[in-house]
Amino acid sequence: MSFFSFGQSAEIDVVLNDAETRKKVEHKSEDGKKDKYFLFYDGETVSGKVNVTLKNPGKRLEHQGIKIEFVGQIELYYDRGNHHEFVSLVKDLARPGEITQSQTFDFEFTHVEKPYESYTGQNVKLRYFLRATVIRRLNDVVKEMDIVVHTLSTYPELNSSIKMEVGIEDCLHIEFEYNKSKYHLKDVIVGKIYFLLVRIKIKHMEIDIIKRETTGTGPSVYHENDTIAKYEIMDGAPVRGESIPIRLFLAGYDLTPTMRDINKKFSVRYYLNLVLIDEEERRYFKQQEITLWRKGDVVRKSMSHQAAIASQRFEGSAASESALEQAAKEESG
């Protein structure tokens, strides 16, 4: 960013020390576009250089100090004026004085705490950024550089299956079961639906993944529901005693980890929504919350192999074993 004052102008640039080797990831901006940003994790050091380049060499630039900040903040869209900072670190790079030539300043924020995942939602944004400032009497020169933070989790020890029933007395009785209640972002949801009683004509059935973003507190709470995925289970009428398998791959969808009460400002939760539509267009549904978490990068096996493993654990049947063998053949092939 440049400015003009008393015949001198300058530009600030922020460069990370490991810019050539650090991984970049896509992250959605407020306008819905996806850009690539440097990826960091909790506890990692953030270091680099601030370059202050004078546009007119030979002319001096007076300043009241040069600094760099590392900031983590939450912005609620309905409260634009207030930025809630949960991380705020400052390093002074130069005392008040003057610059007569372009200069480079080193900085390092050691083992920075980054407790939350970067997030851009419908009503809220959580962002981390570096902000370099040349402080001036009239107009500061400021350059911001956003980074993205991912929070990693370990595999949950308690991960019980979900069993639920949908019923309308004397008309409909359905049981459905999912293999677990906590899924990582590249996981496979494996389940089964059992029709115990069917006296209404069902023409369509699907599972939706719904993201619910909650912002604010007390009387000013806002809920935004967003249907992330629709998975058609069946098209046509089921019969009593029928069971239908479910296999839903999460990797293809734009998901984040579950976020609960982040800095007492917002939450992001996910639900599996079973929807049945009868011939008279009446809708019946049952909702169940699931927990999503981010797994560290590992060597991933193919999707078919992953699904077969989940299926075998869930059903424990010989059919699943053959599915596993088939997946292994696909991999080797």
pLDDT tens-digit map of 198-224? 777 778 888 999 999 999 877 788 899
- The domain 10-149 is placed in CATH, from the list 3.40.50.2000, 3.40.50.12170, 2.60.40.640, 3.40.50.620, at 2.60.40.640
Sign of torsion, CA 126 127 128 132?
Answer: negative
HEC per residue, 159-187: CCCEEEEEEECCCEEEEEEECCCEEECCC
> Does 326 or 74 have the greater pLDDT score?
74
pLDDT of residue 89: 97
Across the range 317-326, mean pLDDT stands at 43
CB burial string 151-181: b at 16+ within 10 A, e below: beeeeeeeeeebeeeeeeeeebbbebbbbbb
Mean residue pLDDT of the chain comes to 84
For 305: left if phi > 0, alpha if psi spans -120 to 50, otherwise beta; the answer is: alpha
- Cα dihedral: 166, 285, 206, 181 (round 10): -70
pLDDT of residue 211: 97
CB 313 within 8 A of CB 170: no
Q: Which residues are registered as beta bridge partners of 190?
A: 247
**Res 332 pLDDT > 60:** no
pLDDT of residue 320: 42
**Res 119 pLDDT > 90:** yes
Domain assignments of the chain as residue spans, ordered by start: 10-149, 162-293
> Does 138 or 297 have the greater pLDDT score?
138
Q: Structure pTM?
A: 0.81
Residue entry with tokens 């930025």: 83
Q: Which residues contact 258 (CB under 8 A, 6 or more apart)?
A: 268, 269, 270, 291, 292, 293
Across 177-186, 234-243, 274-283, 286-295, least confident range: 234-243
> Does 41 or 136 have the greater pLDDT score?
41
User: What radius of gyration, in Å, describes the C-alpha atoms of the chain?
Assistant: 27
Quick one: fold of 162-293?
Immunoglobulin-like (2.60.40)
